[in-house]
C-alpha cells in the first residue's frame, strides 16, 4: 500500500511569510508525528497526534508553530512569520497507534525541505 | 544537551566487509533503541530495533548490540553491500517505561552516520 506522503517536497519562502506543510499518513494509522531535521542535526520531535487530538505539543519550538489533524487522517503543520532558523526538512511519520502507539514502528514520509530566505 | 550521539559523521567500508556503526546515549530512561536508514530525498526507513532487556538482536545481515552499562549500541552489517550506502540514524525512546514508569512514543535521534560501501 501507499506510504506516508508529504507536500510540497520543496518550499522556498521569504522571511515573515506563513507556510503550510501537509502530511498524508498511511491509511488506517491513528498516530501521526511531526519531526524536523535542521542542517547537520538529528531529527527533532515536534508534535504527536492520536486521532485528531494532540496530547503532546512539547516539541513545538515557538508559538509561531501550530498543527492540526482532521478526520483522523491528513495533518497540516503551519509556521507563521517564518524566520531563517526555521529552514529545515520537516518530516511526518505515522504508526498504527490504537492506544499503544508508543510500541508501534513509526513510518516516515519523504519530508518537505523548507528554505526561508 | 544531545542525548543520542553518533560521533562518526561518515564511514567507508569495502564491499563484503563488516560495517560497524556506533551510537552512545546519556539518558538512563531510554529502554528501546532503533536504527533507521535514509537515502537522499527519502524519509528514514526503519531497519532494526532492540529492547533494553536484550543485548543483541539479529535480522539477516543486520545485528544490533546493546551495552547498557556503557550506554552504547552498535549496528553491524555483514557483509556490506553497495546498496547499504546511506545515512544511518540511531534513535532511542522510553517506550516501555521500564525505568521511568511512564513510557513515551517520542524518538530521540542522533545526527546520523553516512556509510559508503565501496565496490
Domain of A84, CATH number, reads: 2.60.40.10
Contact, A79 vs A86, CB < 8 A? yes
- Number of folded domains in chain A? 1
Residues B21-50 have pLDDT tens digits of 999 999 999 989 999 999 988 899 999 999
> Which chain A positions have a beta carbon within 8 Å of B110's beta carbon?
42
Q: Give the model's confidence band at A72: pLDDT under 50 very low, under 70 low, under 90 confident, else very high.
A: confident
Kindly state whether B41 is in contact with chain A, defined as any CB-CB distance less than 8 angstroms. yes
Whether residue B112 is contained in a domain is answered as: no
Tell me the HSE value of A95 on the side-chain side, using a 13 A CA sphere.
20
In the 8-state DSSP scheme, what is residue A25? P
C-alpha separations of A41 from A88, B14, B110, B112 in Å: 10, 27, 8, 8
Residue of B nearest to A109 (CA): B43
> Which chain B positions have a beta carbon within 8 Å of A105's beta carbon?
46, 49
Residue of B nearest to A37 (CA): B111
The CATH number of whichever domain residue B51 belongs to comes to 2.60.40.10
Domain hosting residue A90, numbered range: 5-116
Q: Give the model's confidence band at A103: pLDDT under 50 very low, under 70 low, under 90 confident, else very high.
A: low
- Number of folded domains in chain B? 1
Contact, A48 vs A98, CB < 8 A? no
Contact, A67 vs A18, CB < 8 A? no
What sign has the CA pseudo-torsion B2, A67, A64, B41? Answer: positive
Q: Give the model's confidence band at A40: pLDDT under 50 very low, under 70 low, under 90 confident, else very high.
A: confident
Identify from B32, B43, B88, B109 which residue to disrupt to test chain A contact, counting A C-beta atoms within 10 A and taking the largest count: B43
Q: Give the model's confidence band at A104: pLDDT under 50 very low, under 70 low, under 90 confident, else very high.
A: confident
Amino acid at each position: 500500500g501507499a506510504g506516508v506522503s508529504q507536500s510540497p517536497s520543496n518550499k522556498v519562502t521569504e522571511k515573515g511569510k506563513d507556510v503550510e506543510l501537509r502530511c498524508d499518513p498511511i491509511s488506517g494509522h491513528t498516530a501521526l508525528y511531526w519531526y524536523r531535521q535542521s542542517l547537520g542535526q538529528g531529527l527533532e520531535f515536534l508534535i504527536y497526534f492520536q486521532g485528531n487530538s494532540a496530547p503532546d505539543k512539547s516539541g513545538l519550538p515557538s508559538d509561531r508553530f501550530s498543527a492540526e489533524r482532521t478526520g483522523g487522517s491528513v495533518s497540516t503543520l503551519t509556521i507563521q512569520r517564518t524566520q531563517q532558523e526555521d529552514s529545515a526538512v520537516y518530516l511526518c511519520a505515522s504508526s498504527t497507534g490504537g492506544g499503544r502507539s508508543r510500541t508501534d514502528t513509526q513510518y516516515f514520509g519523504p519530508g518537505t525541505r523548507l528554505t526561508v530566505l | 544537551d544531545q542525548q543520542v550521539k553518533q560521533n562518526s559523521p561518515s564511514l567507508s567500508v569495502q564491499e563484503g566487509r563488516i560495517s560497524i556503526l556506533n551510537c552512545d546515549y546519556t539518558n538512563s530512561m531510554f529502554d528501546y533503541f532503533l536504527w533507521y536508514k535514509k537515502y537522499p530525498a527519502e524519509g528514514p526507513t526503519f531497519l532494526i530495533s532492540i529492547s533494553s532487556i536484550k543485548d543483541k538482536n539479529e535480522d539477516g545481515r543486520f545485528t544490533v548490540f546493546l551495552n547498557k552499562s556503557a550506554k552504547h549500541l552498535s549496528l553491524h552489517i555483514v557483509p556490506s553491500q553497495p546498496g547499504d550506502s546511506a545515512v544511518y540514524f540511531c534513535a532511542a525512546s522510553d517506550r516501555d517505561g521500564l525505568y521511568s514508569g511512564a513510557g513515551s512514543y517520542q524518538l530521540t535521534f542522533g545526527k546520523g552516520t553516512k556509510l559508503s560501501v565501496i565496490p
